Amino acid sequence: MASWTIQVTNSTSSTQTYFIYQQPPDIQGVPSFSCITFQQVNIKTGQQGYFRIPTNYLVVCGSSPNIPLAPDVVPSISRSSSLTSGSENVMIDVTPSAGPTITIHAAKPSEFLATIKTEDPNFEPNDLQYQTQDHVFCGLGITDPSNNACSTTVWEIIAPTSYNVQFPPNTFYIGFSATPVIIGDIVSSSTSSTWGEITFTDSADPFCKVTQNSDLTFTVSSPTSAITKET
């Protein structure tokens, strides 16, 4: 499986936990995204560690019942599917009787159909801006080394509507912490005091070296065709 590889060198004076999230895509109708930590690696001072990120992306849907998407929330994926054609549609429906459910659209197998339950006794099926306590989300994800789906960026859906989910930019942000982070946790700008930004623009150059310096800033090298391990 093709992947992006990021080598991180820890030049600080102590062991650090490094974690990563991806820049969200530009999707019409989505007011805000929640970015999610999807990998972490612990690196001792003076040593290197690696992030390997599959280049095949997923469309994901799930829910966070009674908990709005926010930092420290871990959304639970219910369905995922490969993003193969450049973009996929996620159809959102609302019902007054049952939900939330995320299924494959019967008429269009390449699309999701997410159904949200509403508790509003005055529910109108044609409401264009309706949000419920189910906190159903859709977004993008990747597969982890164990071949499980994990989210990279999500947004809470408003029904009934549809979203054209497109490939995200191949831009990633590395942060650090003195303690372990929770994989699948929504991150905020304050999760790390400094960030390193890595952008891959060419599949022929899938490797990138990043160094965290003694002053805790990051130095990011230009992506190359191969990484030679430092000694």
pLDDT value of position 167: 79
pLDDT value of position 214: 97
Give the structural domain span for 179. Answer: 3-220
Pairing of the two strands 34-35 and 87-95: unpaired
- As to burial, measured by CB atoms within 10 angstroms (0-12 exposed, 13-18 middle, 19+ buried), residue 119 is exposed
Residue 202 contacts residue 223 (beta carbons within 8 Å): yes
Q: Is residue 117 part of a domain?
A: yes
For residue 143, what are the β-bridge partners? 149
Q: To 5 degrees, how large is the angle CA 74–CA 80–CA 85?
A: 130
CA gap 151, 77 in Å, rounded:
8
Element holding 153 (H helix, E strand): strand 149-156
pLDDT value of position 134: 58
Q: Is residue 229 part of a domain?
A: no
DSSP 8-class letter at 186 = B
Q: Is residue 64 part of a domain?
A: yes
Q: To 5 degrees, how large is the angle CA 179–CA 42–CA 189?
A: 55
The domain tally of the chain equals 1
Q: Is residue 76 part of a domain?
A: yes
- CA distances 154 to 37, 42, 186, Å, are 11, 26, 9
pLDDT value of position 46: 97
Q: Is residue 110 part of a domain?
A: yes
At 181, list the tokens: 């982070």
pLDDT along the chain (231 residues), means of 10: 91 95 82 85 96 86 70 73 62 51 53 49 44 67 83 77 76 89 83 92 92 97 81 49
Q: Is residue 53 part of a domain?
A: yes
Q: Is residue 198 part of a domain?
A: yes
Numbers of helices and strands, H then E, in the chain: 0, 17
For residue 35, what are the β-bridge partners? 153
**In one letter, which amino acid is 205?**
D
pLDDT value of position 66: 62
Q: What is the pTM of this model?
A: 0.79
Pairing of the two strands 218-220 and 207-212: antiparallel
